[in-house]
Structures are given as C-alpha cells and as structure tokens.
C-alpha cells in the first residue's frame, strides 16, 4: 500500500518538475530576464533598435552568434517582444532557410519530440510542449506564388503560467 501511495505522490509531483525547455529558458534568454524593460534590454544590447507596429513594441538586434550548433549569419536578427506592460515576454531568433531541418533535429535532441502544428505550402510550424510557462516553436515561413521560402525563426514565449 505504501508503494502505491509513493507512486501516486510521484505522479502528482511530476508536473512540478521542469522539463528541458524550462531548464533552459525559465529565467530568460540570451542574458536577458523575462519581465525586463526595454531600458534593461538596452544595457545588454545597446546597438539595438526599438520598433513598433500599432501597439506592438519590439526591440531588434543584429547578432550572429551560433545557437544549437547552427552557424548564423553575422548580422542575423533577434527580435525581443513585450507584453502590454512593456516587459520582455518573447524572443524570435532568425536562422537561414536551409537550417530548418538541422535545427529541428537539434531541438528534438535537446527538448524532446516536437509536434507539427502546420506543414503546408505557406508555413511549417513545429512546437514543443509548454513547460512551466515557457513555449517554444520553430517556424519556416514561405511566400510567393511558387512557395519561395522567406525565413526560419525560433520563437520563445514566456507566459509565466
């Protein structure tokens, strides 16, 4: 009976433990903490540029550091997004189009199997299970009459829930 109780307790407590996504991104990303302001972000990345579209505020930097064993272009974009209180809650990291397959494989090794949310002529979207308020997706967007690829982007969203 005691074993069953311990097993049940273990099953219930499984949801409390973080998975690999939260282990990597629970506190923040690229030296920036979730919830930081744009002024905090400017201290880490002073050469960035604030952009906005209607009420959506972004802070865009050029940063070519390799990520997930993938070389990126020297001036590739990283875009930080903000919640309505102007606190960082997301980041989009651009990769080259031909990095999609290798990046998907590397992310699966690190975070477990993905689920394809969309895989059609306009976009391929892979997602990983939400982990302690952190969501991870990989998108390859296409545009044009002949499905010309536009970009590959890794997106990290912190909902805190």
Residue 25: helix, strand or coil by DSSP?
helix
Taking alpha carbons only, the member of 28, 56, 26, 33 closest to residue 134 is 26
The average pLDDT across 43-49 equals 96
Instruction: Indicate the domain borders of the chain.
Output: 19-158
The average pLDDT across 54-74 equals 93
Task: Please give the Cα distance from 34 to 29 (Å, whole number).
Answer: 8
At 31, the pLDDT band (50, 70, 90 cuts) reads very high
pTM for the full model? 0.81
Residue 70 is classified by DSSP as B
pLDDT in tens, 74-128: 999 999 999 999 999 999 999 998 899 999 999 999 999 999 988 776 788 999 9
Residue 148 pLDDT: 58
């Amino acid at each position: 009976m005691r074993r069953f109780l311990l097993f049940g307790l273990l099953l219930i407590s499984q949801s409390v433990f973080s998975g690999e996504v939260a282990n990597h991104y629970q506190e923040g990303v690229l030296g920036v903490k979730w919830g930081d302001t744009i002024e905090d972000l400017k201290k880490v990345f002073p050469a960035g540029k604030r952009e906005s579209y209607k009420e959506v505020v972004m802070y865009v930097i050029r940063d070519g550091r390799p990520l997930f064993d993938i070389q990126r272009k020297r001036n590739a974009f990283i875009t930080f997004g903000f919640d309505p209180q102007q606190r960082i809650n997301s980041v989009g990291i651009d990769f080259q189009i031909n990095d999609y397959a290798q990046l998907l494989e590397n992310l699966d090794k690190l975070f477990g199997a993905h689920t394809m949310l969309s895989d059609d002529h306009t976009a391929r979207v892979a997602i990983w299970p939400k982990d302690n308020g952190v969501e991870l997706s990989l998108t390859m967007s296409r545009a044009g009459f002949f499905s010309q690829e536009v970009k590959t982007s890794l997106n990290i969203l912190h909902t805190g829930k």
